[in-house]
Structure 1
Amino acid sequence: MSYKTLLVHIDDSRRSDTRIALSLELAQRWDAHLIGLYVVCQDLFRPIFRQDKTLSFGQLEAHADERREKAQNAFLAAAERAGRSAEWRAPPGPALDVAMLHARHADLLVLGQQDPNDPASFVTPHFVGDLVLGAGRPALVVPYAGEVRTLGDNVLLAWDGSREAARAAADALPLLQRARHVGVDIVRHRVHHDSRQSPDAPEGIDVAAWLDAHGVRASFSTTPHHIGVGTGATLLNRASDLHADLLVMGAYGHTRARERVFGGVTRTMLESMTVPVLMSH
């Protein structure tokens, strides 16, 4: 199993080059075709467009064309240096709708966490979360801070037995099969008994057998959930303790509206991630 078509989101943000470099390295691993999808904010009232209030609408459009051409040249030049098959796409239309359409024809998406200190990283409200929820494809989300020296050498898989966790584990198989170490972590909220499973059976034994059938030898751990510390923060702390360079998790186990209002693991990750996170819904 491998990813044969990758799609990287390109914009005018400072972190776009990091995503491109990472996506080219991943394309090299699987001899994959890389699509560079240029999608940026189209709201002229956003801060990136208000840096000079004296510019006319025509001048703003001209500047947008210059930024797009600069991004295109940088992407194609990087792909040529890497010797990778790549194509550039900058289709018109509403940003999220365009991204959703093109994302559905890729095996893996490479996206970026929004940087609150970089207006150019804003596309639409909840852009990454909506894309993860609606595209039907796994998304590798890259933090806006820190270097990505390695990816997939030491992987932490968050497991809770849910549909979303199972989907994420399956979508991450190409990475898990190449990893030097895979750890499966279960955040325990309370003691419960599953009548379908022996009380003496260790948690996660079923996913362990499934992973082993796919050539992935994993270690298992159970992390207690502490009052006042969310599951997302617990997982990030665990990833830091284990020096993981990739966290794999299911996204939006609760309804999107509930996660936005009350918080949730997905929301915590999108706001506070410290390592790249592969998410699936």
Structure 2
Amino acid sequence: MEMLNPHCGVTRDARGVVHLAICNAGPLNILGSPVTDAVREGLQQLASDRSIRVVVLRGQSEKSMIGGADIKEMARLDQRSAEVFISRLRDLCEAVRQFPAPMIARMPGWCLGGGLEVAAACDFRVAAHDAHFGMPEVRVGIPSVIHAALLPRLIGWARARWLVMTAENIDAPTALAWGLVDKVAPAGELDAAVEHLISALLECGPEALRSQKALLRQWEELPLTESVNLSVKVFGESFLTDEPTRLMGAFVNRKR
């Protein structure tokens, strides 16, 4: 594993798949300020590398991807330092959400609070069969903020309200039924499930996938008519690459 910094390690393969591991952050991969900054900086360092096809975000520990934000650090905050702390986490989530290539959250064990916000900012979420999820902030006297705002878009207002206002955890089957995760892997098959998703993404045109991800982010923000009309130019621009000719040609000329 190549260490980009003390808290961010990466492995790469010949296909352009990068596994980015949150390192040296305790058994639950907790996001204190130094870890948060380091992972954001690692993502920003990788973002300009157009050879990257897929990023898998994971924890060094198998107990979680990210267990949550550092409560010990938060307990010492005042109003001003609290805003600085949460702005750091916002910037990490945005680095995930805006990363040009598809991002997969690999989710064993616990994923709580700020960890679930980071996962929500990923494009795909693949969970272990015994994973658990929750937004416990109100139990420790703070609201769920920043990228918790993605939750109603993922799972609807009623279920998002349940998570952030009751602070009750849900299990993996419930998370799948709610649409919080895309896939729950059978016992011992989390990496196989992640690899299956990677393989599907690698079958797609890399430039087309980057364009599709950027469009999806814009669709989240824009009214419907503007989203539709914006897409016309992006469709045309896809023909500036060789992907349509090459991939459509392979489809047309495939053995019947």
TM-score in terms of structure 1 length:
0.22
Q: Which has the higher helix share?
A: 2
Structure number with bigger Rg:
1
Q: TM-score, structure 2 length as denominator? A: 0.23
